[in-house]
Each structure stands twice: as structure tokens, then as C-alpha cells.
Amino acid sequence: MRDEVLRDRLDRLVETFDVSTITPDPLELVLRYRDPLDQEVAGLLAAAFAYGRADIVVANVGRVLDAMGPSPFLYVKAFERSEGEKRFANFAHRFQKTPELVTLLACMAEAIQEHGSLGALFRACYRGEDPDIGPSLARFVETMRTRSINYLLTSPNDGSACKRMNLYLRWMVRRTPPDLGLWTFVDPAKLVIPLDTHIHRIATFLGLGRRKPPDWKAARAITDRLAKFDPADPVRYDFALCRLGILDLCSRKRRKENCEVCLLREACRFPVK
């Protein structure tokens, strides 16, 4: 009975949050563009730096994209490290600075020059017979990254939850808004939820996960629980659940005024007091 209630409330929550509620979210940056090639490049940049406050991510990565001109894809395709070092000399996002940004752009440029696009590279890495997206993501990351950007491009092989890379895959793969559905060769059922602090906390409140470390196993376990409600698209709940955290509607210090109006209150392990 509890699962039936939780599924109903989650479905209602998904209906509450749509693209009109997206601000602040790094996906805003990707939706600036219409060309899928630009969306792939903008998406990987936005996802790679999607840590810290969402509004600051949007501001910092937004300035990078503005400096790249009207087509991020064309800029990266013709990227020259020396020119990039000058153009982005003042870049800073938390503990990442110009060298990490330039190295990431150089790795993206090499991938595009060799495969034609980031999507084509992921297609070459994708195996439909894999149990989930993890092995394909690991191949994709290992093809691209160097040691200096291990933090920006994380791999399941490291045990990481890979929140930012799974976020990128959600944007590229899922077929319904706010996601883009560009990579139709990937089965959405293979996706793993982008496990950030908001999702980890809220999943604990809802009894969707019990694992304390926010690692790949925890992300996989939460995804498996959500798959009971929607096996074809378990990650469709991510955007709405994450909005609860980003918009401070479900905070670590639970507030009675928020809990009383929360759609998930009947399924929450911590009832309103």
C-alpha cells in the first residue's frame, strides 16, 4: 500500500514541475541552443561544472558559453589551447580554474575531431546488452579524460555516483521535457539517477534508499526502487525531486510550513510534527 501511495505522489509531483520552473538549473544553458551538436557541447560543459549552487553554475558556465560565440560546437571543433588560455584567462568556478576548463575543451575537441560529435562518440561506447548505463559511461569518460580533469568527468569505475555525468545523460537520452531526447539509440531504462545531495536526502526521507555513502551503489539502488514505479523511464522523477531541494522546499532542517503542503508528506518517513 505504501508503494502505491508513493507512486501516486511522485507522479503528481512530476506534473507539478515542468520547464517553466527550471530556473535555476544548468539545463537552462543547454536549452539556449537548437542545434543538437551545440546542445551536446553545452550540455557536457554545464554538467561537468554542475556542483555548488545552481545559480552560480548557470552564471559561470553561461559566461563561458557566451565567450564561445553562437555555436559552441563550431568553437570546440576548431579549438586551439593557446587561444583558449587567453580567452578564458579569468575563468573560475569553485576550485576549478582556467587550466581545467581548457583541458576539458581540448579533450572535447579531440573527441569531436575523431568521431564527428560527442553523440557519435557515446554511440561507439554504448552497448545495449549492458545491465545499465554504467559501462557505457565508463568507456565514454575513459576515452575523453586526462588525470587533471578526473573530477569533471567522473566514471563509475571510480565508485563515484557520477551525478554530473548521469545528469548529462538524462538530458541527452530522456524523451520528454525538460530533457532533450537527442540520443535515441540509448534506452532510457538504462539510465541511473543523478545522485546529488538533494536526491540522496529526499530519497532517504521517502525510504527509496538506505545506503549512507552517496556513491554509485546508492544511485543504482535508488534507481532500482524508482524502476518499480516506471521501469521504462525510472529517472523521469529526478527533475521534480531535485527541484524540491534546489528551491529549498525540502531542506535538511525540515520546516513545518513546507512539510504541511508537500505532495510527498503522506509517503515521507518523517511526518509533520
Most confident option among 19-28, 63-72, 258-267? 63-72
Which of 3-17, 38-52, 60-74, 112-126 has the lowest average pLDDT?
3-17
pLDDT band at 257 (very low <50, low <70, confident <90, very high): confident
CB 79 within 8 A of CB 106: yes
116 lies in a domain?
A: yes
Q: Give 123-169 pLDDT, tens digit per residue.
A: 999 999 999 999 999 999 999 998 889 999 999 999 999 999 999 99
Task: State the pTM of this model.
Answer: 0.95
Specify if 273 maps to a domain: no
Residue 94 lies in a domain: yes
- Domain assignment present for residue 140? The answer is yes
Q: Is 39 part of a structural domain of the chain?
A: yes
The answer as to whether 153 is a domain residue is: yes
267 domain-assigned:
no
Which contacts (CB < 8 Å, 24+ apart) does range 72-76 have? 72/33, 72/38, 72/41, 72/42, 72/45, 73/35, 73/37, 73/38, 73/40, 73/41, 73/112, 73/117, 76/41, 76/105, 76/108, 76/109, 76/112
pLDDT computed for residue 273 by the predictor: 62
pLDDT in tens, 87-109: 999 999 999 999 999 999 999 99
Domain membership of residue 165 as a residue range: 2-259
Residue 30 lies in a domain: yes
As for how many domains the chain has, the answer is 1
- Could you give the CA distance from residue 43 to residue 151 in angstroms, rounded to a whole number? 17
